[in-house]
Each structure stands twice: as C-alpha cells, then as structure tokens.
Amino acid sequence: MPAWTDQLRFAFQPVVNLSTGSVAALEILARPEDTDADVLASARRHPDLDAELAALAVRAAAHRQTPLPLHINLFATTVAELAPLTALGKAVHDVGRRPWEITLDVGGPFSDVPCAALLEAAAALRDEGFRICADGVGDGDLPLRLLGDLAPDLVKLDASLCRRLDTDRGPQAAVAAIRQLCERVGGLLAIEGVETERQYRAVRDAGVQLAQGHLFAPPTRRPVTEVYLPAALPPAVNGPAVPHRPPSGPPVAQFLQPAALLPMSASAGAVRSHLTGFPGVSGVLLVDGDGVPVRAIDRDRFLLSLSGRYGHALYADRPALRLADRPRTVGADATAWQVLDVIAEGDRDRTGDDVAVVDERGRCMGVVHLADILRALAESRVEEAARLNPLTRLPGSDEINGEVARRIAEGRAFALSWLDVDGFKQVNDGAGFAAGDELIRAVGRTLAQVAAGEPASRVGHIGGDDFLVLAEPDGLAPFAAALLDVAWSAGGRPVTLSLATVVCPPGAVTGHHEAAAALAPLKKAAKALPGASWVLGRPGSERTEIRRGTAAGASGPAGPGCPAPPGQEGAGARG
C-alpha cells in the first residue's frame, strides 16, 4: 500500500431525500491527516492516483459496514482516460458491493477533457451498472451541451447556488433551468451546502430532490443514518415558484430509498441476520447476478415464519427463496399513481410491501414505500385543491405565474392571454347570479377541454369572469375557435367573450409581472371592440393586431416577432 495512504482518512456525509426525509446515500470524502499533504491536488493531475482514491473510499465504507448506497468522487479526466476503472471495479467486487449501489460524482475541470472520450467512458460505466452524477454544476467549467449529452442520472448543484437561493432571482432561475434539464433527461436534482432552514425551504420550493449540508449532518468519520430535518415551513414570500406537478403525479424516482439486496442463493439465516442487523430495513430483495430482482421478502412475514414453532429448524439453513414472493416492480420513469396501480393489482395481504424500482435493464435502483407515496399524493391533492377556484375547479393565477416564470427561465417563447365575458355585471343583473355562475362554469369547462388536447398549455381562473390562458405562440387557434367562434348565452341572453394575447419571444420579459403589464392595454383594446374580439400584441410595442372583432383587418400588421397563429392570418369578424 502506498505510504500516502497512512495520512489519509475518509469522512461520510449523508445525501438526504427531501421527499421522504431519509438518507438516500453517503458521499465519501477524502480527508488528508497532514494538512501539508497534496494528495487531492495530485489526484487531479494523475488519474491513476484518483482511481486509487476511489477504490480506497469503497473499502473504507466496507470497513464501516454501512449498507447505504455510496457516492464516490472522481475527476472527469480520470473517467475519460481510465474507464472502465479497473481498480474501482475490483474494490467493489472484493467488498461484496454491486456497481448499481455506486454513484460516481464526476467533477471538473472539464475544459481539457475530450468530450467524446468522456461520453464513451460514461456509457461503458453505465453498462456495468454504475450511476453517473455531474458534480459541482453551476460553479465550474462544465458546458451545458456536454451536460445535456451526458444525460446524467443525477445533477449535483454547487453550494454557491444554495447560498442566495432564498433571496436572489439569479440562482432561482439557474436552478429552475437545470431542473428542467433533469426532467427532460430523466435525472434527479441534488444540491450541496444547505446550512440554514431558510435555505432548506428555498431548496424544497425549487423542486430539488436530494440535498447535502451541515443543516442535516456534517461529514463524520462514522456513517450516520439519523439526520436533522426542520419542521414544515410556510412557502417563501417572493421565493422560487412551486414546481409544476403533472396530472400523472410526482415521479417515483424522488421517493427512492436504498434497497437491501442479497443474492438468490442466500439462506433464510442470512436474510434473518441482515434484517436483525439493520432494523430500518423493511424487506430484502433477492437478485440474480445482473442485479435483477427475482424474489422479494417482507420483513414482518419473514420473521413471523421463522419465529413460529419449528420455524428456525425448518428454514434457517435452507434457501430464503422458499419464504419469498414475486417482486413488485416499476420502471424508473414511473409516477406515484402507477405505483398505486401496481399495488392495487396484487394480493391484498401484500398491500404494504415495498415496490422495487428498476432501470431499463431491469436492475434494481432502490425501493419505494407505500407510506411515502400516499403521503405525497395526499399533500399534492390538498395543495391542488387549495389552489383551485371553487366554481370552475381551475387553478388560480399563482400556478400560471409560476409556469410563466419557468418558461422565462428556460428561454422559451410563450403567449399569455386574458379572457373575460363582455358586460358580465349586466349578465348577472339581467339573467341572475345562477345563470352567470353557469356561464362561468361552461367557459371553464371549455378551456379545460381545449387545454387537455394542448399539452403545452395551461389555463386558470383568476376570479369572477376573468381567465388566463398560457400557450405556445402557435397554439392559440384551438382556444379562439372554441371560445370566440361559438354562440354563448346566459339565461337566454346572448353573450360574447373578449380575448387579449401578448406574445413574448425569449428575453422579451424578465418576469410574469412584466407579461401581465403588457397584457393590460391589450385587454382594454379588445374590450373596446363590439362583439367577440381578439387583440394580439407584444411587449414594448404599441402596434396590435386584431384577430376577431368588427374592426378586424383595419389595423396595421403585427409588430416584428409577433407572428399570426397558423390558420388565423387575416381572420375577419365572426359572422
């Protein structure tokens, strides 16, 4: 063993799952005993030394006998030059670990690393089962193009983005953009440096799924599984927007817990020793040589079988397969609702069993607990219900504003529209409040139906007769056809609607407040036209285009960057 290893120790810091509050993994950090030692700087220059450090980290974790998944740090140069990392692979095999229990935190510098070699090496390591994490994102030299091509299983944001996340819109926009990238490539988002409860709240509000920091637990020589979690906090004022949750439910990956894995050949006695040695383990998965779950063992049913009369004598030295069930599995891209579908289709006496999450090759990535899924879905429903208008069951302006902020942060063009009923007070006065309410409900239903066929759109009900529509610039025609080109009535009285749209190219506005301010004069212009009307404009321009209304075609062409939606060029008034 090289002499420098005598001056090297390792510390363990928990990686906390913010959805479940549990420790998802341990990052292993090299700590030279001699402060004058330059081991880490040497590792940056010498890939062989860096790979040896990674192998030593795995062996150090085995010495501490922790069953948790591990995060191992490597420089990008090491990955590109030395894959398949023979020393690391040997250490993983020697200590009885499996590659899919190891996440490689690949950090910079990246500027001198051949991109093709790094991508090829990362793909080869994934084939072996290792998970790839892009480490230190936000304060290094990792190009966004390379980050997208790498499509990491995990993106870990640098601590510098966490420091001002609760107050500064710059870091908030950066985190939102990286979160969107993670959603597109199917990865999880993590952040380092959480030190205060305000930062914890901001990190959760920003949609980050995994976190590290002294608030939870500092790096220690002995692995810890107990971490500090602040009590529930109210949403931050003017803080990051609450992440949009799709109707299909939150992704199952954010509830992932470490899985207890044993080989298919494990005896019942070995399983019992594992369960009693780790009281927090709720079950064991028996896997084949590729890490594919073959059988599942529930803790309570298994221990009950062994504790019965003659149970130990009958089963202890025999294969645990005899006391196992077929595993319940879902893919890594599944949603929480799909997990419930898997549970509902199984035996009732297994309702509380863990569900294994597998990758595209069927290898186990971890498990999810039913309690975590139910709690998250219940919270999601409560939050959703609180945001819905009681009359139309549509969300209010907060959700639309949050989505506008996300699209601005992502550099996407969008069209924000304001829809209302012409003379709604007179409708209520003449036809009665019941007829007015029914009209509002009918408009809300129409908006929801059109939005269901336009995945990139969002609709909301501000209150009274005011609605918001957020869509792609070329996605407005279906809304106009369904809302403006039909006859509306309330209590037998004819009614018309007005639509005002501001089209915002990338960079045209910096926030939803500016988009709303640009929309206000367009709404006034639309209301000034008799009958069903639609006026379209853009921020910073006084030129407007009339798409519906008796004065259609009278105005000049739309300003630059404000194209007509397909099929609507030169549209005249409704007959």
Mean pLDDT computed over 447-476: 90
Q: What's the confidence (pLDDT) of residue 553?
A: 44
Task: State pLDDT tens for residues 350-399.
Answer: 877 889 999 888 888 889 888 888 777 766 655 555 566 677 888 888 88
| pLDDT band per the 50, 70, 90 thresholds, residue 199 | very high
Residue given tokens 């006084």 in the structure block: 542
Q: Distance between CA 440 and CA 268 in Å, rounded?
A: 64
Which residues make beta-bridge pairs with 451?
A: none
Q: What's the confidence (pLDDT) of residue 464?
A: 86
Task: State pLDDT tens for residues 310-357.
Answer: 566 566 678 888 888 999 999 888 888 888 888 877 777 787 788 999
Task: State pLDDT tens for residues 497-510.
Answer: 999 999 999 989 98
Identify residue 158 by its one-letter amino acid code: D
Residue 1 has pLDDT above 70, yes or no: no
Alpha carbon distances (Å) from 226 to 10, 16, 198, 331, 385 = 19, 10, 21, 29, 34
Q: What's the confidence (pLDDT) of residue 428?
A: 79
Mean pLDDT computed over 240-254: 58
Residue given tokens 């869509």 in the structure block: 471
| pLDDT band per the 50, 70, 90 thresholds, residue 129 | confident
Mean pLDDT computed over 428-432: 82
Q: What's the chain's average pLDDT?
A: 84
Q: What's the confidence (pLDDT) of residue 349?
A: 74
Q: Is the peptide bond before 109 cis (omega within 30 degrees of 0)?
A: yes
pTM over 0.75: no
Q: What's the confidence (pLDDT) of residue 143?
A: 92
Q: Closest Cα to residue 488, out of 499, 480, 497?
A: 497
Mean pLDDT computed over 191-208: 93
Q: Closest Cα to residue 217, out of 11, 74, 40, 9?
A: 11
Mean pLDDT computed over 158-176: 90
| pLDDT band per the 50, 70, 90 thresholds, residue 247 | very low
Q: What's the confidence (pLDDT) of residue 279?
A: 78
**What is the DSSP secondary-structure string of 227-275?**
---PPP-PPPTT-PPPPP--TT-SBGGGG-B---EEETT-BHHHHHHHH
| Strand duo 466-471 + 414-421: pairing | antiparallel
Task: State pLDDT tens for residues 481-491.
Answer: 999 998 898 88
Mean pLDDT computed over 123-130: 90
Residue 429 has pLDDT above 90, yes or no: no
Stretch among 113-117, 139-143, 337-341, 561-565 having the lowest mean pLDDT: 561-565
Stretch among 28-32, 259-263, 373-377, 518-522 having the lowest mean pLDDT: 373-377
Q: What's the confidence (pLDDT) of residue 316?
A: 66
Helix (H, G, I), strand (E, B) or coil at 525: helix
Residue 522 has pLDDT above 70, yes or no: yes
Mean pLDDT computed over 129-157: 93
Q: What's the confidence (pLDDT) of residue 544?
A: 87
Q: What's the confidence (pLDDT) of residue 4?
A: 58
Q: What's the confidence (pLDDT) of residue 65?
A: 84
Q: Distance between CA 332 and CA 334 in Å, rounded?
A: 6
Residue 102 has pLDDT above 90, yes or no: yes
C-beta separation of 26 from 237 below 8 A: no
Residue 253 has pLDDT above 60, yes or no: yes
Q: Distance between CA 545 and CA 554 in Å, rounded?
A: 9
| pLDDT band per the 50, 70, 90 thresholds, residue 32 | confident
**Which residue has better confidence, 120 or 1?**
120
Q: What's the confidence (pLDDT) of residue 178?
A: 92
Task: State pLDDT tens for residues 555-570.
Answer: 433 333 333 433 333 3
Q: Distance between CA 393 and CA 460 in Å, rounded?
A: 9
Residue 114 has pLDDT above 60, yes or no: yes
Q: What's the confidence (pLDDT) of residue 243?
A: 45
The terminus-to-terminus CA distance of the chain in angstroms comes to 88
Q: Distance between CA 307 and CA 310 in Å, rounded?
A: 8
Q: Closest Cα to residue 522, out of 555, 494, 488?
A: 555
Q: What's the confidence (pLDDT) of residue 147?
A: 93
Task: State pLDDT tens for residues 47-93.
Answer: 999 999 999 999 999 988 888 899 999 999 999 998 789 999 999 99
**Which residue has better confidence, 384 or 408?**
408
Mean pLDDT computed over 406-415: 88
Mean pLDDT computed over 1-8: 61
Q: Return the percentage of the chain with pLDDT > 70, whole number.
A: 86
Mean pLDDT computed over 10-27: 92
| pLDDT band per the 50, 70, 90 thresholds, residue 216 | very high
